[in-house]
Amino acid sequence: MENSPIPAQQANTTCTACTSAIVLDDNFCNSCGYPVKGTEEEKDNFMANRISKQIDLNTHAESMKKAGYSLYWIAGSFLLFGFIMFAVNQEAEDAVFTLILNIVLSAVFALLGVWSRNKPLTAFIVALTLYGLITILNAIVEPASLLRGIIVKIVVVTWLIKGMKAAMDAEKLSRELN
Amino acid sequence: MAVVNGSRYCGTCGHRQIVDDIPETSYRFLQLKQVGLFFGLHLIICCLAEFVDYFDTLKWMAVFDIILATINISFVALNWSTVKHYLKWPDFSIQKLSLYVGIAMLISLFTHYTITWINETIFDKHVYYYYAFADLKYGKALMLLSMAVVPALSEELGFRAYLINGLLKIVDVKQAIIISSFLFSIIHLSFLSLYWLLPFSMFIAYIFLKEKTMWYGVCFHFAFNLTACLFEIIDVVPL
């Protein structure tokens, strides 16, 4: 009987839809609006609508999870690329700096992945901006790098954009449901 | 009928008691695209100025400053109804202004010494922007104009007055501060400067939202840049 505005001692029963405490005098649940004294058809319609929203919410959660995983993939690829570049160009003057930069960027994307569980929209906006900036800067230094792994880049960007939309939809649906 | 305190719905008629303050996703996504366009335009200009040797002159710097200012003014004009309130300065306080200017000068002092230390110890070099203006007739005045006055006005208009208001249509206050500060920091295209740019921009964003005007931020930004410029001039020009 969580989140119920009715004190437990006044509650006579629980809501079928959201399990919040309700008093017998009420026609509607104070928490979710379930028509306690409505007709069977009204109750069925309410439940169908609620279940449909919950299914949508689960779909959005799945999209956000995918976008979150893409951040871990980016983090992993930066780490791997950093060590490969270091192994290949150990003699280069900026080899250590490049390695440290890749490790830092990898850590940033991993942290964004973790943060996306709490604040998905902000984490995806920051991640997409940072990923786009790194891609552009790499392309300025070496234009051919833009085409390297282009399919992976498109997939990552698509997942992040879908993640953003899903985060917006999920926020709205969560507010409506509870 | 009286509604139980904290109820989302009326127990008698079923009417929703909480106003849904989250706009539709399509509207939020449209705002996000506008923010993306704003940032993308800035990014293109900044990359051209930073990485294309052909544009590495004072004349082109002035041209890019004008283009960026035009972009900022255009986006403010597009969102005039929400931004206009922040262009006023209704509760002017000299104490507050002095406090913010003092904080800005102290942070600038800290930044100047840490940046100098980093450049000397890690990169073994000195970076002085003043040399670009040194041969001009009014070099010092032009440096202060292009590095203290213009950025303070233009960037505050774009990255605070427009951007934060744009982001507030998509996310909540805290997230708007974080995102706007992050975008402002990375647009400077300096990885090492992030350590001071992020807290700097977060503080200005906080002032902007707390005071509900962009002018304290403009003064803060101006005082910060002015202090940095004066330090450079003192370092380079023998007294």
Query: Does B121 touch chain A if contact means CB atoms closer than 8 Å?
Result: no
ipTM over 0.90: no
Position B127 in a domain: yes
Picking from A26, A27, A129, the nearest residue to B39 by CB comes out as: A129
Q: Return per-residue pLDDT of chain B as tens, 239 residues.
A: 566 666 778 888 888 777 767 788 899 999 999 999 999 999 999 999 999 889 988 899 999 999 999 999 999 999 999 999 999 998 899 999 999 999 999 999 999 999 888 888 877 777 777 778 878 888 888 889 999 999 999 999 999 999 999 999 999 999 999 999 999 999 999 888 899 999 999 999 999 999 999 999 999 999 999 999 998 888 877 65
Position B36 in a domain: no
Number of domains forming the structure of chain B:
1
Position B71 in a domain: no
- A91 SS3 class: coil
Report the candidate in A68, A131, A56, A48 with the shortest Cα–Cα distance to residue B25: A56
Provide the angle, in degrees to the nearest 10, between the axes of the packed helices B25-51 and A120-141: 30
Q: Is the pLDDT of residue A106 over 90?
A: yes
- B9 SS3 class: strand
Identify the domain containing residue B227 by its residue range. 81-236
Position B100 in a domain: yes
Which residue of B lies nearest to A173 if distances are taken between CA atoms? B22
CA angle A97–A101–A104, rounded 5-degree value = 140
Q: Is the pLDDT of residue A174 over 70?
A: yes
CA angle B195–A140–A143, rounded 5-degree value = 140
For residue B22, the distance in angstroms to the closest alpha carbon of chain A comes to: 6
| Residue B129 CB-density burial (10 A; 0-12 exposed, 13-18 middle, 19+ buried) | middle
Query: Does A99 touch chain B if contact means CB atoms closer than 8 Å?
Result: no
Position B34 in a domain: no
